Homo-oligomer: A and B are copies of this chain.
């Protein structure tokens, strides 16, 4: 039923009594989030964003997607950070055939990637989604300059209009100015939802709708999360338990959290999670370092360190109960490789045994672990998982004692970079 948190792998590391000892802190965090009375309370709009997301927006985006499919063969999504990771995590998690293939730009400053996007524009009909609250973040701004020039060469100023969609501030910033001046369709990024919390705002919903993702189901899952994780009772709120547990482990010297999954479609969800938790909690010399592996692949690279390296790690598995595909292991007459013992089994069954064995072995090696279990890798469960992690970091960050909703540290390199660029 929904998302389960299994804490068998924590026994003797973190007890129910330990978890309950954080009940006052969790309750205070809950009240601060819901009452907007904690640090960074200008940026907690995501707490009730699901219930404030209108069905009408979903319908509008579904229509927009149908219109775009009529004139485009590919989407170019320009954005970085929260304007990139939630889109990629969703598309790769859900897999399947995109109704329109989606390409990224402005997510780095690698000439090879941007040159490839320019060639795409020359070869196919495209629609571009530009996602930037300020319009002055360097990577997407420069990518948009290049993409805009290529689009104008191909379509001219009038042909461009239906092919550029902006997701930006309602009133302010360079991209809002451009959208208004050019008459581009635009959607608004709310002022009270920071980038790493924005996947279920138009930041994610617009490009995902265009790519054919079932955003209706994703929003429904997001809403289910808002309900499920609103319970103040720590014993019943798996999201709050996750937040409490990671603080308890951190206090015991487990300063690295390894998000591990035997489901490779989780790879970019883990990248999205790294931004959410790393950027929220990496402050004042504190914060759990977020890392990730995809298994069983990385058992053959990071497995030795997980088993025998420094004991400063805890592991958070993310599992899926029912996978989409079935592959049966064939029998072989002479059983040279000795795997007839699993002939007739689904490969997914073998995968699950590998997970059980790994969780057990790592536990015995001194790596406490827990499992976040999803029923299916579908849009609904993903929406709920996004809310689980967003609510989780709000609670976790407040327990840690930081403001989870700002990111002052990133100004340091930006200042130096702007000086080198000669930018005012």
Binding site for B on A (CB under 8 A): 80-82, 84-85, 95, 107-115, 118, 135-136, 138-139, 141-142, 144-146, 148-149, 174-175, 177-178, 195-196, 255-256, 262-265, 271, 274-275, 278-279, 281-287, 289-291, 294-297, 299-313, 323-327, 329-330, 332, 336-339, 341-342, 346-348, 350-351, 353-354, 356-358, 360-362, 364-365, 407-410, 412-417, 419-424
Contacts and interface: CB of A to CB of B under 8 A. Distances in A.
B327 A115 contact: yes
A108 B325 CA distance: 14
Contacts of A357: 413-417, 419-420
A327 B146 contact: yes
Given A118-B327, A138-B354, 11 more contacts: A112-B265, A136-B337, A136-B338, A138-B296, A285-B310, A289-B291, A290-B302, A303-B410, A357-B420, A361-B412, A364-B412
Contacts of A196: 301
27 contacts: A80-B297, A108-B262, A109-B347, A111-B327, A111-B346, A112-B323, A112-B324, A114-B327, A115-B327, A141-B337, A142-B342, A145-B330, A279-B303, A282-B310, A285-B309, A303-B410, A303-B413, A305-B409, A307-B409, A338-B424, A341-B421, A341-B422, A341-B424, A342-B421, A357-B414, A357-B417, A361-B416
A405 to B, nearest CB: 12
A168 B255 CA distance: 40
Contacts of A361: 412-413, 415-416
CB-CB nearest 3 A-B residue pairs: A282-B305, A81-B300, A275-B301
B329 A110 contact: no
Given A142-B339, A296-B109, A347-B114, A286 B301 contact: no
A111 B347 contact: yes
A307 to B, nearest CB: 3
A94 to B, nearest CB: 11
Contacts of A295: 108
Contact of A112 (B95, B342, B364): B95
Contacts of A413: 299, 303, 307, 354, 357-358, 360-362
Given A111-B323, A357-B414, A275 B300 contact: yes
A332 B109 CA distance: 19
A369 to B, nearest CB: 12
Contacts of A300: 80-82, 84, 195, 275, 410
